[in-house]
Structure 1
Amino acid sequence: MLTLIKFELDKLVRNKTFLITSVISLLAIAGIFLVGYYYSQVSYVEQKNADKGYPEFYSEITNKYAGEFNDQKVEEVLTDYMDRYQSHVDEEKRPFDVFSYYIGDIFFPKEEDVYLKMNEAMESGEKITFDQLDIRSVQEVGFASFDKPLKLGAYNTWGDLFSVTNSIFLLSCLLIIFICSSVFSNDSASNINQLLLSTKHGRGKLTAAKIMAATGISIPIFAAIQLISFLFFYYYHGISGWDASIQTNFSFKLYDFPMEMNNLQVYLLVIGVQMIGVLLIVGMTLLISSMTKSPFISLATSLGAFFLPYLLGKIFQTGTMAKILNLFPIQHYQVEDMLTIMETDFVYFLHAFIPNVILTICFALVIKITADLIIYFRMKYLQVK
């Protein structure tokens, strides 16, 4: 059996489709990392701040304000932010505080332009203070409350990681679909099915070997790409802010998310759910491949099946159909959307986040196992003309 699996793995790796799509994927991954990390907002702002004479400004600010998140912390952050802003009349010399900016965007009053007021005060030689603004409280904004207080930390960089993870998941799925779509259909197109199925192990072990080889190469591909992404993230930004609450990640505005989780826990959960989703994608793609006689038709059909739940989700946004569509992996490629739809039974089947996560995992595993069994018995009893 191991020999058959190794043989099928060699076939996949040596396939021209695998080689071409791997090269294209590597170029795409490089582009995603370049935009997501090297040219991210934090990296760009840090370079600009360094040019103005403020090296490591983001790190200094996040380290200063990291800790329990409450009204006192908001006052501390915004008071210092307003003081720094108004102490530099020349905008060209003013450091941009991307960390405090998004916090101010949430807590500054919406009915007035605070920056306009500060600029007008600066022109008159005066300053606007925190007490002069109608700053909303943490409770008024609607932040979730737990037994332990929420924690604030370097959230911008983790927002970059989540954004890159979104793109990497889509790219990984496309690469895996390209690879798996030819596993069975390529044999049919080459007219060697009759020969293969007439061999001793052609209808049993060979089919199982193809399934295991495709699955065995897909999961490492996904894991390797995500690992490389995290290493790039660590190289550019470090992991500061890993223990900050997801509710205080102002990149996503998930203030009322009902689970007490930090950035790292959310990242690991998302990767886990996406990896299980990859199994579903492998199963469906292999099933389609076993039913088609052309790699191109198999690829086109598999891509359609992958994106269809997303497209239908734009039409069916409520009701049972929307809940069924939200179980598919394409609906989980965006971290914010995944966390949002799973926290309620409005667009999911169960009323709490963790049960919905478990339901999603079970759904994917059931589809994968069912697809594998259908493939196995179909190939076992297939009548080849």
Structure 2
Amino acid sequence: MKYELEKLIRNKTFLITSVISLVAIVGIFLVGYYYSQVSYAEQGNADKGYPNFYSDITSMHAGDFNDQKVKEVLSDYMDRYQKHIDVEERPFDVFSWYIAEVFFPKGKDAYSKMGEAMESGEKISFDELDIRSVQDVGFASFDNPLKLGAYNTWGDLFLVTNSMFLLAVLFVIFICSSVFASESARNINQLLLSTKYGRGKLTAAKIITATGVSILIFVVIQLISFLFFYYYYGISGWDASIQTNFSFKLYDFPMEMNNLEVYLLVIGVQMIGVLSIVGMTLLISSMTKSPSISLAISLGAFFLPYMLGKIFQTGTIVKILNLFPIQHYQMEEMLTMMETDIVFFLKAFIPNVILTICFSLVIMLVTEVIIYFKMKYSYVK
């Protein structure tokens, strides 16, 4: 295993992919955090004389989410909005804006009404608008009240996590596709398989090493992402309900979970999915004689369920396709799919999560067993 680890890490593909991944991470962070709506609004608000505006607003309104909380948020939002006729002087309240988009009356432009009142030197109050209730919107209800907090920043983390998952998977496929295929390309399989441990321990060492390195890659990439998120935003809002994360509109999500719990769940499901990807990639690598061919087939196998999912929208086929890891790279769609049996096999969220995990683990185990016995009993010329 030590030999296989050194060979894997010293491989040019690993080194080049590592450099490319670091550059990609920087790009993802720039788009996901530095140029995010929250960051852009905060920079503008600071220039207008409102430093730390977002954190002040979220701290002020954090707490139990109900109709009274909606009234507090929107009343303060309307007061601040109507204080400044000049848009250039008005702070952009990204926290309250998303909430207003949900609760302001549909079909009536509340902003036009406030603008008209401001031109007349008057103000419109919360009670003058037909504000929707929490029940009207359709929020899920539990024994404990929903919590409201800094949801925008966690929305940014979820979006970055989606991109980091794809980056980690591509990294894993690039390095695993050459584990067996590179030796076939160099015609040294005859030598390796003819040694005492070439058919057994060496194959197992390759599988274990590739799996371990792949898990480490995924963990390190996601850990870098979370640490940067913690440094840039902090973790305020971790205990806010996922239903009140207005970035994703999961108002009726049936599970009582907060942002941190959803994040950990998504990371867990994605990591198990990576294990199945490792198994499939190693199997393809063991059946091909060229790393480039192995890479092309492995990438195609990874993206194929997603492309077929665009063709098949209902029925058993789409339910099977939704079990594959590529379908779970988007947090919002993953949670939405797993809460119903329309596009998943079971009727409840947790059973569908368990089914997905078991499916990935079965793929990993089956592919690795096939690899082991294929190499053990393969014919050497």
Provide TM-score, normalisation by structure 1: 0.98
Matches within 5 A, 1:73-112: 73-112=69-108
Matches within 5 A, 1:111-260: 111-260=107-256
Alignment partner of 2:340 out of 320, 341, 344? 344
Q: Unpaired runs of 5+ in structure 1?
A: none
1:352-371 deviation digits (Å, cap 9, x = unpaired): 00010000010000000000
Matched, 1:300 2:300: no
Counterpart secondary structure, 1:34: helix
Query: Alpha-carbon deviation of 1:34?
Result: 1.5
Corresponding residue number in structure 2 for 1:42? 38
Corresponding residue number in structure 1 for 2:50? 54
Corresponding residue number in structure 2 for 1:375? 371
Q: Which letter maps to 1:18?
A: F
Is contact 1:183–1:210 with CA below 8 Å preserved after alignment? yes
Corresponding residue number in structure 2 for 1:280? 276
Is contact 1:86–1:127 with CA below 8 Å preserved after alignment? yes
1:196-242 deviation digits (Å, cap 9, x = unpaired): 00000000000000000100100011000100100000011100000
Counterpart secondary structure, 2:264: helix
Q: What is the alpha-carbon distance in structure 1 between the residues aligned to residue 300 and residue 5 of structure 2?
A: 26
Q: What is the alpha-carbon distance in structure 2 between the residues aligned to residue 115 and residue 292 of structure 1?
A: 62
Q: Which letter maps to 2:221?
A: I
Q: What is the alpha-carbon distance in structure 2 between the residues aligned to residue 18 and residue 115 of structure 1?
A: 54
Alignment partner of 1:290 out of 286, 289, 306? 286
How many residues align? The count is: 381
Is contact 1:280–1:368 with CA below 8 Å preserved after alignment? yes
Q: What is the alpha-carbon distance in structure 1 between the residues aligned to residue 295 and residue 115 of structure 2?
A: 57
Corresponding residue number in structure 2 for 1:12? 8
Query: Alpha-carbon deviation of 1:47?
Result: 1.1
Alignment partner of 2:353 out of 350, 357, 360? 357
Corresponding residue number in structure 2 for 1:22? 18
Q: What is the alpha-carbon distance in structure 2 between the residues aligned to residue 323 and residue 99 of structure 1?
A: 36
Is contact 1:37–1:232 with CA below 8 Å preserved after alignment? no
Query: Alpha-carbon deviation of 1:90?
Result: 1.1
Identity %, equivalent residues: 81
Query: Alpha-carbon deviation of 1:151?
Result: 0.4
Q: What is the alpha-carbon distance in structure 1 between the residues aligned to residue 354 and residue 54 of structure 2?
A: 38
Q: Which letter maps to 2:22?
A: L
Counterpart secondary structure, 1:202: coil
1:258-309 deviation digits (Å, cap 9, x = unpaired): 0000000000000000000000000000000000000001000000000000
Query: Alpha-carbon deviation of 1:131?
Result: 1.1
Q: Which letter maps to 1:207?
A: T
Query: Alpha-carbon deviation of 1:44?
Result: 1.2
Q: What is the alpha-carbon distance in structure 2 between the residues aligned to residue 95 and residue 379 of structure 1?
A: 65
Q: Which letter maps to 1:245?
A: S
Alignment partner of 1:31 out of 18, 27, 30? 27
Q: Unpaired runs of 5+ in structure 2?
A: none
Alignment partner of 1:267 out of 254, 263, 266? 263
Q: What is the alpha-carbon distance in structure 2 between the residues aligned to residue 204 and residue 241 of structure 1?
A: 50
Q: What is the alpha-carbon distance in structure 2 between the residues aligned to residue 317 and residue 150 of structure 1?
A: 33
Query: Alpha-carbon deviation of 1:115?
Result: 1.1
Alignment partner of 1:325 out of 318, 321, 328? 321
Q: What is the alpha-carbon distance in structure 1 between the residues aligned to residue 6 and residue 100 of structure 2?
A: 55
Q: Which letter maps to 2:227?
A: L
1:306-343 deviation digits (Å, cap 9, x = unpaired): 00000000111111000000000000000000100000
Q: What is the alpha-carbon distance in structure 2 between the residues aligned to residue 209 and residue 341 of structure 1?
A: 37
Q: Which letter maps to 1:291?
A: M
Counterpart secondary structure, 2:260: helix
Query: Alpha-carbon deviation of 1:384?
Result: 2.7
Q: Which letter maps to 2:254?
A: P
Q: Which letter maps to 2:91?
A: P
Q: What is the alpha-carbon distance in structure 2 between the residues aligned to residue 117 and residue 197 of structure 1?
A: 79
